[in-house]
Structure 1
Amino acid sequence: MIRNILIFILIAVAWQSNAQANYPIIVIETNYGTMKAMLYDDTPVHSNHYLKLIKEGYFDGTLFHRVVKDFVIQGGAQDSRDAPSGARIGGGRTDMELMPEFRENRFHKKGALAAPRRGDNENPQKKSDASQIYIVQGRVYTQGRLDSMEMAVNVPIRNEIIRTHYLPHKEKLDELKAANDASGFNALLDSLLNVVDSLYAIAPGKFFLPQELKEAYTTLGGIDRLDGSYTVFGEVTEGLEVIDKIAALPVDENSRPKTDAKIIRIYIE
């Protein structure tokens, strides 16, 4: 019995260790503290690219040049290295773009490590500008807010089904009600609602947030409006408080911290 339990534990540990086995832990050392992060196995194009840059020391000495409280801290731009105080920095590079790797299970929770990009008008494919990184701070959502986001999409879909399959029979329902025909009224009502429910169940376009996302956004926090539009390729696993320290810095009109927030180096643990 004990032997079987030990085998089960070993299998479980092995499965967990293999869940993210392709990439080493990376360390992000800043002048406001140190973070550790993991790169995702299921975004290999981005993870491989950024790991290569990290090994080359590409980000070392650059700044978090765009800091927006309750949103993100963005850095790594090459023109930010040794940039004079107050200078506008953070230009992207079109020679380091990657095709997006959107994953439903990779969302913008607090600590998410992601790739910025150019806007939709000039970048309809949503290619990542893989010359920089951003890390999510975000904010905590209430469960009611997340429910409202789902309802905003789903309620109109259900209402359209009601309009086309229920309302045409409302006059008949009113007649049965006026005649005090409770049996006929309830039978027709049940039949109509069953049709509505059945059609709604198979209706395309409904929107439901993953349970994992709901749990993260109502505890850690996040940014829902970026999901599905920017590639998340990793997450901070230690040092979330460093994000808060940097996000709290006073910034100028270009969202650059007035006191430099420097990426001293990013390296493999």
Structure 2
Amino acid sequence: MHAQKENKDSEYNIPHDGSTRVKIFTDSGTIIVKLYDSTVLHRDNFVKLVKEGFFDSLLFHRIIPQFMIQGGDPTSKYAQPGEMLGSGGGDMERIPAEFHQSYIHKKGALAAARDGNPQKASSACQFYLVEGKVITPAELDMIEQQKGFKYTPEQRKIYTTIGGTPFLDQDYTVFGEIEHGFDVVHKIIKAPRDSRDRPLGDIRMKIELLTPATKQ
């Protein structure tokens, strides 16, 4: 069993760089996400929940094209069709915000959802994966002015050519990024949804830690 799993994981060409990665399984395919070491509180909390099997069978309960897909609400596991979701996990201790200028809401970013608390502390369990859209230089100029910081030339290039959701930067903690399987996000985000952006058909997840295959 272990050998088969290593061979399967080796298909993704996972580098031996010491970084923590997870595999998000869905009916639409598998997503490989790298967790950032600099956001250690979010990384360690996410890994803990993954090891506990917390996310298994939970839903991606909110999908918005050109924005993001969101999941991790523990109440979604047994939710009835059409039931409003998104407030689950509120009894869990929030994670302090970990903002880094180098981590932006580019296409494929993994970030923590949160409620409207003044400290901008994150939900302990709900997360989202960014699809976003291409941003114009003028839009970036306006966001910089509103937020009081400057993007690097490379970050501006990312937003104006690849896309993302820059209006969320420094308000929600980015703690990882998709390395493989963004096409899966694109498939999920196109699913039919109701007026509250919940998919009409349940889109469940299972998350496991990913270990690089042993070199032969």
> Hey, what does 2:175 align to over in structure 1?
233
> Hey, what does 1:38 align to over in structure 2?
34
Query: C-alpha displacement at 1:248, in angstroms?
Result: 1.1
Once the two structures are overlaid, the 10-residue window that deviates more, 208-217 or 127-136, is 208-217
For normalisation by structure 1, the TM-score amounts to 0.68
Distance change in 2, residues 1:210/1:258 (3 Å): same
Note the 1:114-263 alignment, pairs <5 A.
114-119=111-116, 123-147=117-141, 149-150=143-144, 152=145, 207-263=149-205
Specify which of 77, 102, 105 is matched with residue 102 of structure 2.
105
Query: C-alpha displacement at 1:207, in angstroms?
Result: 3.7
Query: C-alpha displacement at 1:142, in angstroms?
Result: 2.7
Unaligned runs of 5+ in 1: 1-15, 154-204
- Mapped to 1, the partners of 2:129 and 2:71 lie a distance apart of 9
The yes-or-no answer on 1:78 pairing with 2:74 is yes
**Corresponding letter in the other structure for 1:213:** Q
Distance change in 2, residues 1:88/1:207 (3 Å): closer
For normalisation by structure 2, the TM-score amounts to 0.84
SS of the residue corresponding to residue 62 of structure 1 reads: coil
Query: C-alpha displacement at 1:94, in angstroms?
Result: 3.6
**Corresponding letter in the other structure for 2:114:** R
Query: C-alpha displacement at 1:104, in angstroms?
Result: 0.3
Distance change in 2, residues 1:79/1:206 (3 Å): closer
| Higher helix residue share | 1
What is the aligned-residue identity percentage? 42
SS of the residue corresponding to residue 98 of structure 1 reads: coil
Query: C-alpha displacement at 1:90, in angstroms?
Result: 2.2
Conserved in 2, the CA contact under 8 Å of 1:66 and 1:74?
A: yes
- Mapped to 2, the partners of 1:231 and 1:67 lie a distance apart of 19
> Hey, what does 2:58 align to over in structure 1?
62
Q: CA deviation digits over 1:82-101, x for unaligned, max 9?
A: 32211112223242301100
The yes-or-no answer on 1:24 pairing with 2:48 is no
SS of the residue corresponding to residue 65 of structure 1 reads: strand
Aligned residues: 195
Q: CA deviation digits over 1:215-251, x for unaligned, max 9?
A: 2212221001100000011011101111111111121
- Mapped to 2, the partners of 1:100 and 1:206 lie a distance apart of 18
Distance change in 2, residues 1:105/1:17 (3 Å): farther
Once the two structures are overlaid, the 10-residue window that deviates more, 242-251 or 230-239, is 242-251
Conserved in 2, the CA contact under 8 Å of 1:114 and 1:234?
A: yes
Conserved in 2, the CA contact under 8 Å of 1:94 and 1:129?
A: no
**Corresponding letter in the other structure for 1:268:** L
- Provide the alpha-carbon RMSD of the alignment: 1.9
